[in-house]
Amino acid sequence: MDYMKQERERGITIQAAAITFDWKDHKVQLIDTPGHADFTIEVERSMRVLDGAVAVFDAVAGVEAQSEVVWRQADRFNVPRLAFVNKMDRQGSDYDRCLEMMRERLGVLTLSTMMPLRSELGEYEGAIDLVGLEVVEGKLSREATDEEWSMAMDHREVLLESAAELDENLMDIWLERNT
């Protein structure tokens, strides 16, 4: 959605832009806001109208200073958030480190719905969706191993237990399932 010449040249969003699209019988209005510190007021202006936000974190850099600023802005406006970790295919990417930084620097509980899959050489290949229990292919050209599925089930159990602690109805379901 970066349409200005400066945005394309610099590879950053300078001015908030909106787009509307249909998704599963819903109309979604997406607002792309700047992430750069020089354009904080543009983000602040957008926060006033949001029903929710997706905070995008770089798997290599983790939580950056500007991410903290935007997160605090969302706190002030009570904007519910999801976090998305991108650039998993880059050298030096570390999903777990990124989640740990979110916990430490943003003071949030992270409930991961995905478990990254890496090759023997450490290259990102895809992920296992811990909710739908399916492999989400990136560059994945193989089936997940039994060991990876076992780890995924362990991660899924942590996800379900953590979610249950946040909601009484989910807690009842989780306790019923595990007793």
What's the CATH code of the domain at 7?
A: 3.40.50.300
Query: Domain boundary at 79, 110, 141, which?
Result: 110
pLDDT of residue 3: 66
> Sign of torsion, CA 151 153 154 155?
positive
Both structure tokens of 80: 């519910």
Question: Which run of H or E residues covers position 156?
Answer: helix 146-166
Q: What is the Cα–Cα distance from 48 to 73, expressed in whole angstroms?
A: 10
Q: Are residues 104 and 148 in the same domain?
A: no
What three-state secondary structure class fits 127?
Answer: strand
Give the pLDDT score at 37: 66
Are 128 and 102 within one domain?
A: no
What are the phi and psi torsion angles at 66 (to 5°)? -70, -30
Domain, as residue range, for 34: 1-110
- Residue 152: pLDDT band with limits 50, 70, 90: very high
- Residues 131 and 102 occupy one common structural domain: no
Count of structural domains within the chain: 2
User: Do 41 and 62 reside in the same domain of the chain?
Assistant: yes
| pLDDT digit string, tens, across residues 91-100 | 999 999 999 9
Q: Are residues 67 and 86 in the same domain?
A: yes
Q: Write down the pLDDT at residue 48.
A: 85
DSSP one-letter code for 90: S
73 and 146 in one domain?
no
The answer to whether residues 81 and 87 touch, using CB atoms and an 8 Å cutoff, is no
This prediction has a pTM of: 0.81
Please report, rounded to a whole number, the percentage of residues in the chain having pLDDT higher than 90.
Answer: 44
Residue that terminates a domain, selected from 110, 134, 162: 110
Q: Are residues 81 and 128 in the same domain?
A: no
Does one domain contain both 157 and 132? yes
One domain, residues 49 and 84: yes
Domain co-membership, 85 together with 121: no
Same-domain check for residues 83 and 132: no
d(CA 48, CA 79): 9
- Residue 2's pLDDT band, with cuts at 50, 70 and 90, is low
Q: What are the C-alpha distances in Å from 49 to residues 17, 35, 39, 43, 78?
A: 13, 17, 17, 11, 11
